[in-house]
Structure 1
Amino acid sequence: MERFIECWEGLDDPRTGNAGLHDLHEILAIAMCAVLCGAQGSVDMGLFAKSKEPFLRGFLELENGVPSHDTFSRLFRMLDPEQFRAAFQRFMAGFSGQCEGVVAIDGKVLRRSFDRASGKSPLHMVSAWGCDQRLVLAQIATDAKSNEITAVPKLLEMLRLKGTIVTTDALNCQRAIAGQIVDQGGDYVLALKENQATLHDDVVLHLNDPASEKITAEPVVDADHGRIETRTATISTDIAWLIEDHRWPGLAAVGKVERIREIAGKTTSETAYYLLSAALTPERFNEVVRSHWGVENRLHWRLDVVMNEDQDRSRLGNGPHNLAVLRHMALNVMQKDTEKGSLRGKIKRAGWDDAYLARLMTLF
């Protein structure tokens, strides 16, 4: 509990009077245990606390009994989301160490977090995913997809980017974001589409010109779940004229990845274009682009399908934001656990095996 409490240093307790009947850190510990066991909201947390009281009394005082679901709901609605996010960053600073490898930036909407009565739009969480570490490194919330561009610079400020390669989708292919990544000592591989229309057209013409100088890697073929995908990466560093014309911060190379997919006898193809701040080999470029999809497959998919985040109906106050951060922490703890097994299997085991759940809590 001492190490767990250290994670929440600087987090103010917003409750007053009788609302503060239960200890803040004990409520947070119960909530974390509940999420590790598959709880999706305050009602689940209340049921977990009641059914697991003997286990919880093994390391908690619970002087006033176990909290009710109203207690959990009230606390997470009232907690300052910035302080809660800062606590997550302190947790990650000691949990994962220095950022390294590929850091993928992407956003996700919590679909059930809207509130029609108050006109509140669904919460949009923008996350930094450590593709090599397979951990959530940082996150920040916005109230709309359109605000993701302004949220990403704040997210990058939370990270130490020296020696990393930051990847984003085309929405965040922006001069300010590229410049910030370079200024913070990182490199970037940014997806390029029509939102940068003139630059996109020039890159397409250059990479598809037979006379331009470029290097193409051998095709890489992956086959999984009935799908065969062939990816061919091409890089060009002969772009002095592009740099002169567009003045893009840190631009050192441009590249494209041609993908051919075969699914159930049908073949589709697409070509994606990218801006790079480092002259990667086409083989490494292919690996980096492929790594970016880890934020979809290993973070967003798990949150939606395994942890059922999109069905959580927490809508009031700061609840959606704070519970999303709590899920990220739980996901990281599960990922840090060295025992083999799927996330779904680990969640079930935590609910069934008190000793395993206790061991997960020692990872804080």
Structure 2
Amino acid sequence: MDDVACDAGALSETVVFLGHFKDLPDGRQSAKVRYPLDEVLLLCLVAVIAGAETITDIARFGDRKLDLLRRFRPFLEGVPSHDHLGDILASLDAEHFQRCFVAWVASLTGAPEGVVAIDGKTVRRSKGSRNAEEPIHMVSAFAARQRLVLGQVKVADKANEILAIPKLLDMLAIEGAIVTIDAMGCQRTIAQKVLDKKADYIFALKGNQGTLRDDVELFAAEQKARNFKDATVSRASTVDGNHGRIETRDITVIHDVDWLQKSHQWPGLKSVVMVQSTREVAGKIERETRFYITSLVLVANLIGPLIRDHWAVENSLHWVLDMVFRDDACRLRTDHAPANFTTIKHMALNLIRRAPGKDSLRLKRKVAAWDDEFLVSVISR
């Protein structure tokens, strides 16, 4: 076993992510710890990359891949049982774990470029019995251009996103980025927080801001009827079509908003955006008008793609977690375990995305399970 420990020590520097979790508090009594925390975290991450979906999967992976794990750490006592593993994940402080995650991602990416989309997702099976607490809700920040999770915060339910978003922003280094949030996060305090972080914002505007949306909608309707002759605007159009669907988007940016600021005093507000979409599917036509407020001073053909980039958080994060990582099927319910396991999935997703090759995420996970050297290359990045 001494040779094993020596070899692991020689190779441990290749597991870069562990250095960012070395200060993560471990509430276990040190004299009784059989499984060091760095070994537990390494086991969980490697197993999830290779396709593990449950705590039982992770424990079984550890039993079968102990030789591989010992290339990085000694694992003198082997790996914990699934019950013990679940207890360890439940005991780790989720907020501290998330802060370690943010520091690790920042070391990989530096300051994010372009859109940072913030949105929440409920882990549906994390609710226990009928009278138990509600399923956990994770609010995540997603770098649309790099397609990487930047950070996440656990909240009790969707209604608490307003409280969680400032905490998430406090953790992130986003100078120069553009933060996009749906209508729930359209709050003055959040807008000011984004500006304080030296970033810009684009917020969807709905009815949760009193008369703000009504005033914007009325002004836009009046000006459209006059062909915007009394307002400084820029306009652009896009047409997309696939799978029998054709969608046309007409984007209008209203650049003079002094009239709006006099009534509403919104932090950093520079422009209002109106997006009118027409969607044709199987001969049926649907029309929708959406409004946004932004601190940016950009013309329509530049701001339109930024608004569309927000949906990367749905398509490239939430959908992937459900369809590739089976997140909604996860039944972890104890203490911090659901939030910590979601963070580990985010870590795995980031590493798989950074792995070279054109295979799908699903196939990369399969290859990681089949090919130890590929798996080693993924976690060594």
TM-score normalised by L of structure 1: 0.95
Please tell me whether residue 61 in structure 1 is matched to residue 74 in structure 2: yes
| Partner residue of 1:217 out of 215, 232, 235 | 235
Out of 338-347 and 286-295, give the one that drifted further.
Answer: 338-347
Q: Which amino acid aligns with 2:369?
A: G
In structure 1, what is the equivalent of residue 218 of structure 2? Answer: 205
In structure 1, what is the equivalent of residue 98 of structure 2? Answer: 85
Once residues 78 and 366 of structure 2 are traced to their aligned partners in structure 1, the CA distance between those partners, rounded to angstroms, is 26
In structure 2, what is the equivalent of residue 310 of structure 1? Answer: 328
| Partner residue of 1:101 out of 104, 114, 134 | 114
Q: Which amino acid aligns with 1:239?
A: V
In structure 1, what is the equivalent of residue 135 of structure 2? Answer: 122
| Partner residue of 1:297 out of 315, 319, 323 | 315
* Gaps in structure 1 of 5+ consecutive residues: none
In structure 2, what is the equivalent of residue 287 of structure 1? Answer: 305
In structure 2, what is the equivalent of residue 269 of structure 1? Answer: 287
| Partner residue of 1:44 out of 57, 63, 75 | 57
Once residues 19 and 35 of structure 1 are traced to their aligned partners in structure 2, the CA distance between those partners, rounded to angstroms, is 27
> Secondary structure of 2:173's match?
coil
| Partner residue of 1:338 out of 329, 353, 356 | 356
Once residues 140 and 123 of structure 1 are traced to their aligned partners in structure 2, the CA distance between those partners, rounded to angstroms, is 10
> Secondary structure of 1:217's match?
strand
Out of 317-326 and 181-190, give the one that drifted further.
Answer: 181-190
Number of equivalences: 363
> What do residues 159-213 of structure 1 show as CA deviations (whole Å, max 9, x unaligned)?
2232111110001111111111122211111100011231101111112223342
Please tell me whether residue 149 in structure 1 is matched to residue 162 in structure 2: yes
> What do residues 232-279 of structure 1 show as CA deviations (whole Å, max 9, x unaligned)?
110011221111111111111101111111223322111100001122
Contact 2:106 2:173 in 1 (8 A): no
In structure 2, what is the equivalent of residue 20 of structure 1? Answer: 33
In structure 2, what is the equivalent of residue 319 of structure 1? Answer: 337
> Secondary structure of 1:279's match?
coil
> Secondary structure of 1:274's match?
strand
In structure 1, what is the equivalent of residue 278 of structure 2? Answer: 260
In structure 2, what is the equivalent of residue 74 of structure 1? Answer: 87
What is the CA distance between 1:17 and its match in structure 2?
Answer: 6.8
Moved over 6 A (4+): none
> Secondary structure of 1:272's match?
strand
In structure 2, do the counterparts of structure 1 residues 218 and 30 end up closer, same or farther at CA, with 3 Å as the change threshold?
same
Q: Which amino acid aligns with 2:137?
A: H
In structure 1, what is the equivalent of residue 187 of structure 2? Answer: 174
Contact 2:51 2:365 in 1 (8 A): yes
Contact 1:10 1:83 in 2 (8 A): no
Q: Which amino acid aligns with 1:340?
A: K
In structure 2, do the counterparts of structure 1 residues 75 and 252 end up closer, same or farther at CA, with 3 Å as the change threshold?
same
Once residues 217 and 199 of structure 2 are traced to their aligned partners in structure 1, the CA distance between those partners, rounded to angstroms, is 25
> Secondary structure of 1:116's match?
coil
In structure 2, do the counterparts of structure 1 residues 117 and 202 end up closer, same or farther at CA, with 3 Å as the change threshold?
closer
Q: Which amino acid aligns with 2:41?
A: L
TM-score normalised by L of structure 2: 0.91
Out of 233-242 and 295-304, give the one that drifted further.
Answer: 233-242
> What do residues 78-117 of structure 1 show as CA deviations (whole Å, max 9, x unaligned)?
1111221121012112111112211111000000111237
> Percent identity, aligned pairs only?
42
In structure 2, do the counterparts of structure 1 residues 29 and 126 end up closer, same or farther at CA, with 3 Å as the change threshold?
same
Q: Which amino acid aligns with 1:222?
A: D
Please tell me whether residue 232 in structure 1 is matched to residue 254 in structure 2: no
In structure 2, do the counterparts of structure 1 residues 349 and 19 end up closer, same or farther at CA, with 3 Å as the change threshold?
farther
What is the CA distance between 1:118 and its match in structure 2?
Answer: 6.6
Once residues 43 and 296 of structure 2 are traced to their aligned partners in structure 1, the CA distance between those partners, rounded to angstroms, is 46
In structure 2, do the counterparts of structure 1 residues 280 and 61 end up closer, same or farther at CA, with 3 Å as the change threshold?
same
* Gaps in structure 2 of 5+ consecutive residues: 1-11
